Structure 1
């Protein structure tokens, strides 16, 4: 994405108005990383859903990987995506639970330049509407790494759908008002 094209001539997006404004949609490059010891390209339904939803929304699928539940390999793939010029956003699925093999937060959170703390709060609110108190078993998280937004979702199809449709996709739409993540993307690396 040409990050300078996001903001208006005065360097700031205008705020206020309806939930979706008349502003134009700005596509970004999104990489999908599935964390699983058992998923393959054929059985990765959550990753396949995200890839399809990204395209349907008008964004670009900038990369896709399946990585085993291994903290070093997860971190290595995340770093690779975060240094790819075509990638603006990374969404991972899986490895956010409470079992010994669930290590996505341990692998990714040390890479965060900033934690998006509100994501976990909103994610759990949305998840609660779908699965009730079982949402406490999720350690979904989000942050910024090297100027890229990173979202770590659970691996279930329902969790990925809720995360994408109810939280992530609206914030990756420049038309969402009063504000969205696309507006601040050009300033993520400013000093």
Structure 2
């Protein structure tokens, strides 16, 4: 079971991207939920974007953040379902150097208690690219809250042991990220 270690908390630079054909920043409750949660946890909202559910617009924005030396995490919401306009997984997958296979599996598992078998229709996924963790969540505030509270809050907290994602992310000037503990 994960626990907090004696390590110091290291705030991460996190960008939030909403994928939607209908939302604006004023009506983007899912992106706002992620922004609020990450800032409440002590992280830095380094950028926020909103793009149409178009493979190339999604790739362009995510690629820009993957290349940005200041961005360590990209949290995305929307476009993970099965409608013809849900393109996030196929837009993001080719950009990933390594897939975090367990992310989608775990998201569906923790969502089961909240939404039942409808969790099968989630194509949530995550992976690493150029030292950036990219996470794709469904486009509802509830899904974003579940993903953050059940998975991301601990995995983006440098104090979580025995392991978390922070040692694998782009280092920031003046901040040394400690490696994971060895399992005993």
Moved over 4 A (4+): none
Give 1:184 shift: 2.9
Structure 1 residue 44 corresponds to structure 2 residue 44: no
| Match of residue 33 from structure 1 | 17
Mapping 1:124-143, distance limit 5 Å:
124-143=108-127
Give 1:186 shift: 5.5
How far apart in 2 are the matches of 1:141 and 1:184? Answer: 17
Backbone CA RMSD of aligned residues = 1.4
| Match of residue 131 from structure 2 | 147
- Asked whether the equivalents of residues 131 and 168 of structure 2 are also in contact (C-alpha less than 8 Å), the reply is no
Instruction: Name stretches of at least 5 consecutive residues in structure 1 with no aligned partner.
Output: 1-16
Structure 1 residue 161 corresponds to structure 2 residue 141: no
Structure 1 residue 58 corresponds to structure 2 residue 39: no
How far apart in 2 are the matches of 1:51 and 1:72? Answer: 24
Structure 1 residue 77 corresponds to structure 2 residue 61: yes
- Asked whether the equivalents of residues 132 and 170 of structure 2 are also in contact (C-alpha less than 8 Å), the reply is no
Structure 1 residue 115 corresponds to structure 2 residue 99: yes
Deviations 1:58-81 (A, max 9, x none): 110011000001001000010011
- Asked whether the equivalents of residues 98 and 129 of structure 2 are also in contact (C-alpha less than 8 Å), the reply is yes
How far apart in 1 are the matches of 2:135 and 2:63? Answer: 14
TM-score, normalised to structure 2's length? 0.89
| Match of residue 10 from structure 1 | none
Task: Look up the SS of the partner of 1:32 in the other structure.
Answer: strand
- Asked whether the equivalents of residues 69 and 170 of structure 2 are also in contact (C-alpha less than 8 Å), the reply is no
| Match of residue 179 from structure 1 | 163
Structure 1 residue 24 corresponds to structure 2 residue 28: no
Given candidates 162, 166, 170, the residue that maps to 2:154 is 170
Give 1:185 shift: 2.6
Task: Look up the SS of the partner of 1:135 in the other structure.
Answer: helix
Count of residue correspondences: 171
Q: In 2 relative to 1, CA 49–18 (structure 1 residues): closer, same or farther, beyond 3 Å?
A: closer
Structure 1 residue 90 corresponds to structure 2 residue 63: no
TM-score, normalised to structure 1's length? 0.86
